[in-house]
Structures are given as C-alpha cells and as structure tokens.
Amino acid sequence: MTKPETTEFDLLVIGAGPGGYHAAIRAAQLGLKVACAEMEKVGGVCLNVGCIPTKALLHAGEEVAASKHAAEFGLTFGDTKLDLAKLNSWKDGIVSKLTGGVAGLFKANKVTHLVGQATFVDAHTVQVGGTQYTAKTIIVATGSEPARLPGLDVDQKSIVDSTGALVLPEKIPARMLCVGGGVIGFEFAHIYNNLGSEVTIIEFMPSVIPGADTGAVAAYRKIIEKQGIKIQTQTKANIAQVQSDGSVVVEIENVATGEKRQETFDRVLVAVGRRPRSTGLNLEAVGITPERGFISVNTKMQTSVPHIYAIGDVTGNPMLAHKAMKEGLVAAAVIAGDSSAEQDAVAIPGVVYTSPELAWVGLTEDEARAKGYQVKTGQFPFSASGRAMTLQSTEGFVKMVIDADSDVVLGVHIVGPHASDMLGEASLALEMGATTEDIALTIHAHPTLGESILEAAEAVHKQAIHIVNR
C-alpha cells in the first residue's frame, strides 16, 4: 500500500466496521479531510464474520428446509444435495463484494484508508503501521469480539465461537451444542439444524433471548422446539474436552438442581455474548479509562476528552450494527459543526433472523407496566393472514403494546415471516409518537404481511377485521 500523501487530518476514525465507515464517509461528505484505520478487513465484524455471512448461511439452510415442504403445493425435487465447499465459497463471495464496495466508497469520498493497529500517542496523535498521524478529532470505533467461557477453549474446529461457526466443516456435525440462548446462539442453531445437525441450546438464565417480550419469546421458543432444536434453560457447560476423533465431551450442569451429566457432541459453539475491543489502544495516554472495557460517551458520542469520540459496540449495549451506524452519523455531524446532532433514538430494534423471525422495537409489555403505563395490547396472528398462508408461514403474530391513556404505541413485537422487514414501520411509529389510530387509518397494500401491523393496531380496540375480537 502506498504511503498517504499527508499525515494530518480533520478526523481520524479507528475501526472500519459499520459505525466507523459510516462516520468516515459522512464526515467526508460534510467536507472534512478524513482517514480511517483498520487492522483487519474493511467492514469489520458485521460484513466479514457477523451479520452478512450469517444471513447468507441462514438463507441457504432455509432453502433446504423449504425444499422439504414444497411437495405440499405440488413441487417435488429429487434428493437434496449440499455442496459445502460451494456454499462456503458463495458466502465468502458476498462478503468480498460488500467489503470491496466499502473500499470503493472510501475512494470515491476521498477517505484515506490506513492499514494496521492504531494506538494513541497523545490526544491528537495516533500511530498506525509505524507512522504517526495527527487529527483535530478522533473517533474510536473498534467494535467487539466474542466473549469467552472458562473451561471451553475455542480452537475454531471442534469448539468454535461465532467466527469459527461460519466456516462449515467438510461434514455437517451430527450433534451440535450451542452454549448461550441469545441471538447468536439461536441463529447458528437454526443454520445447523436446517443443514442436518441435531442441535441443543443451553442457557444459564431462566429464559432465552433477553430483552424481548416474554410472551413473544414463549411463542417463538415453541415454534423453534417444534423444528427439532432442543432448548434447556438454567443450564450451563462447565468444561469441554476435545477427543482424539474431534468429538467434544461436555459436562453440563442444571444450575437449579445441581445435577451434572456428560454428553458428546461433534461441534460446540460458545455464544455467550460479546466483549468490547478497547485494549491495545493506549487510552491511558489520553486520559480515558474504560469501565469493564466500555468507553463512556454522552449523547453527542463524546468521551471524557471532548475531541475524542466513541461509537458502536465499544460504548456498550445493545451491540448492534444499526446502532453503531446511527452513532457514527451523529458523531460525524457533531464534528462537522452541527450542534443539534445527538443520539436520541426512541428505541433501537432487535431481531433474531431465524425462520420465523423474532423482531421487536420499543417497550415490552412488562417494561411498559413497570414504567407505570396503563397498558393495552393488540395481537394479530399470521394464521389469519392470506399472504402468510401463500408463503407457508402462518406461525406467530404481531403484538402491539400501547399506552391506554393516549393511544400512543409503546412497543411492537413480531414472531413470524419477514418480521425484520416489517419492523421499519413499527420503528417509525415509535419515533413519530404514532397512535394505533394513525396506523389503522393508513392504507396498507393487500395482500401483504404488513397488513398484520394494521390489524394488530385495530385489535387493540377490538376492531380487527380478520379475527374474532374477544
């Protein structure tokens, strides 16, 4: 790589993940001279070993599952054959196109791409690859990495984290254990189950998918278990030992009873969350002290050192790409002189990209009651949706949580097909302070899954058309 013509910038972004590259490109659009340093690949975890390749494998697995049910409407295939090498290559090709696209956007927007580990020298100087660069402002966007569990040593072959799980082995494991019942655990469980594994999820807590509505989670769990995935809560893995044949013997403990047992699996996924990447930056040189690895910021994404900003996973939960993207845009706007810019989102959406999907935004029913709202809910099942029937996907529902006094929507929770795509309307409703009347008076195209949002809004007041309002 040729050496940059200058070592002085208005803004230097450390990290080229979703948050970092959004910040860099937007700042350049606003007229700043920008550099973005990345020690791995442009696109960060999300594009390379997270959101994008995971969704590619989820799609492949769902196509396999769909082929098994096609005979129900008269479409018959021969034996389904899975070429794992080709699947891995296809997945990697998507990643290459997207990361190449980001690199192209850097070039088009005149963002200088610096390759290497970035460390602070002082409050305005960062060293990357042996060269020191100065900047008026700096954004830390270093993201996160998989958390580890003592006793489960990740080798990325028999015991893997989310990065290793993306590389399909030569043979799909007959038995797989997912340690952790959060979004990552469920998505990989879904992938491997659809590709032929017998999958078990174990979760230390009494429930799975923290942060989601309890009613929606209960319905979602039943559907997933019906697909053949075993789910055990209040359960933990104490130790895992890889055998000479590559299998893994795991000691599993029921934390409620203390009962222990040993089970053998062909692959074990450790998916117990993520931890921030803030070590190695020499933050002490600029007077920033992370708490449990997280960097504290205000609503303008400024750290305790005003000209140094931080965005994305390194600033705390929720660790989501779309949160990082928004924070990157906020930081760029503030740095470019927009004093009104701040991170003031009413709610941040969450999604589990399985089939069906579980998606939510805003308050759960329990959270709304705990905040003192007089709560009403409306629920519309996909079993009453004509469009869902044509998609052979009628399990689940849309649930709307509202403030009974004002009719304002507080939260929307969806278990069903394409729930993530439907969530945009729900998120906009929350940001605009919409009421159920606003939604019910909006004409939705027919037949669509989106009509279920309308009917859930009508169901709040027992006026839904396609169900009996009880």
* The token pair that represents 429 in the structure block: 């409703």
Residue 124 is a catalytic residue: no
User: How far lies 359's CA from each of 13, 23, 212, 355, 371, in Å?
Assistant: 31, 26, 8, 11, 22
Q: Strand 235-242 and strand 230-233: pairing?
A: unpaired
Q: Which amino acid is at 263?
A: E
Please say whether the beta carbons of 128 and 117 come within 8 A.
yes
* The token pair that represents 452 in the structure block: 């279920």
Catalytic residue among 22, 113, 444, 446: 446
Q: Which amino acid is at 291?
A: E
Q: What are phi and psi of 133, to 5 degrees?
A: -125, 140
Give the Cβ contact number of residue 296 at 10 Å.
14
Comparing CA positions, the residue from 238, 263, 270 lying closest to residue 155 is 270
DSSP-derived 3-state class of residue 441: coil
d(CA 405, CA 148): 46
Please say whether the beta carbons of 303 and 309 come within 8 A.
yes
Catalytic annotation, residues: 446
